[in-house]
Structure 1
Amino acid sequence: MTDGQRSPTVDGQIVVSGLTKQYRNLRAVDNLSFTVEPGRVTGFLGPNGAGKTTTLRMLLNLVTPTAGTATVGGHRYADLTDPLRHVGAVLEASSAHKGRTGINHLRVICAAAGLPKQRAAEALEMVGLAPAAKRRFKGYSLGMKQRLGIAAAMLGDPRVLILDEPANGLDPEGIRWMRGFLKSLASQGRTVLVSSHLLSEMQLLADDVVIIAAGRLVRQGPVDRVIGSMAQGARVRVRTPNAEALTTALATESATVEADPTGPLLISGVDAPTVGRVALAAGVELHELTTERPDLERVFLELTAGKAGIR
């Protein structure tokens, strides 16, 4: 696929502005606005029922918004000429006729979209399914179906890729492959928007995150910046056989000490060097002294606490 076959006016920026979806008495998405930039992997995160899938469906013109807009390169998806050449999407594991082979499934899509037949084999190679090209769909595992869906999304060599839970059904090796694959697409200047519940994986994969809850935006930005915004939540983990003595000694430093169910003390309000100094002065033996910094999972849970819903 050459750049000359693609409309030069459609770049990869996704802009969601004031997007709202009302279902009778339920507001699934509520005045949601965010931007997804080309050349980056953006994680789209939220609790179950947060409105993620509804948002993606509105972006892909599968659901009509009650209000607001969602555009790719300044265009609504419905207004794109040859949309598969601009946007590839996987909202669930690929479905196909159970008796059809993987490559024939993709060839059917190519024929319907006016794409060259050879793109089917190229896309299968791209996602590591070439050895299973002639296997029937009914024999595919869930992870293979996920890869086939991604292959279908890549048939038009799109500048934008939108994936909903793409790691579902993948084993650890498959998840690692997915991470490398999506990062490589972003490095080519493509826009990659990924919805996922695997927060530890999102911390490794994503450059940016958009976090929503109850249909509303709660935080957006580069992963490091979002985690850094909770830096005040850093804690010091301490293991000691003299917990009571250390707790008493730290009271003079206005530290907050709580016991972790697994055994150590979790101390906030002071840093690790201060804890070490106080312990030394009090003659308290330490078996562990570690600074615990917030990770994406902890930040996500704090930002969305009590905001889960049913959509």
Structure 2
Amino acid sequence: MSDDIVVDHLTKQYKKLRAVDDLSFSVRSSRVTGFLGPNGAGKTTTLRMLLGLVTPTAGNATIGGQKYTELPDPIRHVGAVLEASSAHRGRTGRNHLRMICRAAGLPDSRADEVLALVGLTPAANRKFKGFSLGMKQRLGIAAAMLGDPRVLILDEPANGLDPEGIHWMRDLLKAFAAEGRTVLVSSHLLGEMQLLADDVVIVAAGKLIRQGPVDEVLGSMGAAQVKVRTPQPAELTTALASLDGVTVAPQADGSLLISGTGAAAVGHAAFTASVELHELASERGDLEQVFLQLTAGMAGIR
């Protein structure tokens, strides 16, 4: 069975508020997909419909071709975290997970396995009331991993994590996808998403704004740039003036930042004009810059 997620013309209307508006996108297995949008864009509502927690007004959302509510053993197929884990304040992390195991027909030993996976073994016997927000996030992910699922759906999982924790989560999710599984993660940390995600789905005001591989989305907005160092900046600028759509911006460190073309074209222009180059490097675009361009004027509470 495929592990792809498919959102098909999904709509959710709350009286006068349309939280999700005819939204369609897909999430492929073996890849990490970032689900991005301003506050009030409809991301959490979409995830809740995907997990059967909210009934759509129209459209469908499926995981592996089935609605979540139709999966025969959902804990073994889908793991999800929509908010930091909650548990009885006086219960330890290990016992919290063991209770879930027993309800799902999983062996108690699985609790210790996922505690190790998320780095919580040293805190396994600590009571939940003493957990930091970052530890609660890790415990939530541990609970989502109990059934060894093929699909992970996470809403703002990096909330409360320190830089080391964010790096750990990046490695965990990349490794999960590398095993052929499916990862859909919502986040406001755009710099982290640029490092983590293979694909992005960008929504605003409940509608799809852009979907695709990160590099393609960046390239579509002209975000790719070329950094050049040369002792002949004026001559190189003149040589590049003949290329349509190319802009050259001098930087404070003496380099030139060139937009609208690639490194090969810049190198060829320099060679043809006999311009000496000391540095020629492609610079990946900035996802935050592209995100702000695509969603300009669409943020705000809905």
Residue pairs, 1:46-85, within 5 angstroms:
46-85=37-76
User: Distance between the aligned counterparts of 2:27 and 2:207, measured in 1?
Assistant: 16
The residue type paired with residue 211 of structure 1 is I
Question: Contact (CA 8 Å) 1:234, 1:294: kept in 2 or not?
Answer: yes
The residue type paired with residue 145 of structure 1 is K
Q: Structure 1: any 5+ residue segments left out of the alignment?
A: 1-9, 282-287
User: Distance between the aligned counterparts of 2:16 and 2:204, measured in 1?
Assistant: 18
- TM-score computed with the length of structure 1 as normaliser: 0.82
Query: Shift of residue 26 of structure 1?
Result: 1.1
User: Distance between the aligned counterparts of 2:177 and 2:227, measured in 1?
Assistant: 37
Question: Contact (CA 8 Å) 1:272, 1:290: kept in 2 or not?
Answer: no
Residues paired across the two proteins, number: 297
Question: Contact (CA 8 Å) 1:272, 1:291: kept in 2 or not?
Answer: no
Query: Shift of residue 261 of structure 1?
Result: 11
- TM-score computed with the length of structure 2 as normaliser: 0.84
Cα deviations across residues 83-121 of structure 1 (Å, max 9, x unaligned)? 111111000010111110000001111122222221111
Cα deviations across residues 209-251 of structure 1 (Å, max 9, x unaligned)? 1111111111111112221222x34557799xxx9x99x9799
The residue type paired with residue 156 of structure 2 is E
What is aligned with 1:34?
25
Query: Shift of residue 294 of structure 1?
Result: 2.2
Residue pairs, 1:1-311, within 5 angstroms:
10-230=1-221, 232-234=222-224, 293-311=284-302
**Residues 75 and 94 (structure 1), Cα distance of their counterparts in 2 relative to 1, 3 Å cut:** same
Q: Structure 2: any 5+ residue segments left out of the alignment?
A: none
Query: Shift of residue 206 of structure 1?
Result: 1.0
User: Distance between the aligned counterparts of 1:249 and 1:153, measured in 2?
Assistant: 57
Query: Shift of residue 11 of structure 1?
Result: 3.4
Question: Contact (CA 8 Å) 1:11, 1:159: kept in 2 or not?
Answer: no
**Residues 128 and 213 (structure 1), Cα distance of their counterparts in 2 relative to 1, 3 Å cut:** same
Query: Shift of residue 191 of structure 1?
Result: 0.7
Query: Shift of residue 187 of structure 1?
Result: 1.2
Query: Shift of residue 309 of structure 1?
Result: 3.5
**Residues 120 and 26 (structure 1), Cα distance of their counterparts in 2 relative to 1, 3 Å cut:** same
Question: Contact (CA 8 Å) 1:276, 1:289: kept in 2 or not?
Answer: no
Query: Shift of residue 160 of structure 1?
Result: 0.7
Identical counterparts, % of pairs: 71
User: Distance between the aligned counterparts of 1:192 and 1:50, measured in 2?
Assistant: 20
**Residues 300 and 12 (structure 1), Cα distance of their counterparts in 2 relative to 1, 3 Å cut:** same
Query: Shift of residue 290 of structure 1?
Result: 7.8
Query: Shift of residue 203 of structure 1?
Result: 1.2
Question: Contact (CA 8 Å) 1:259, 1:266: kept in 2 or not?
Answer: yes
Query: Shift of residue 55 of structure 1?
Result: 0.3
Question: Contact (CA 8 Å) 1:161, 1:192: kept in 2 or not?
Answer: yes
What is aligned with 1:4?
none
User: Distance between the aligned counterparts of 1:158 and 1:80, measured in 2?
Assistant: 12
RMSD of equivalent CA atoms: 3.1
Cα deviations across residues 117-154 of structure 1 (Å, max 9, x unaligned)? 21111111111111110000111111111000000001
Question: Contact (CA 8 Å) 2:11, 2:18: kept in 1 or not?
Answer: yes
Cα deviations across residues 160-213 of structure 1 (Å, max 9, x unaligned)? 110001111111111111011111111111111100111111111111111111
Please give the secondary structure, in 2, of the residue aligned with 1:115. Answer: coil
**Residues 238 and 38 (structure 1), Cα distance of their counterparts in 2 relative to 1, 3 Å cut:** closer
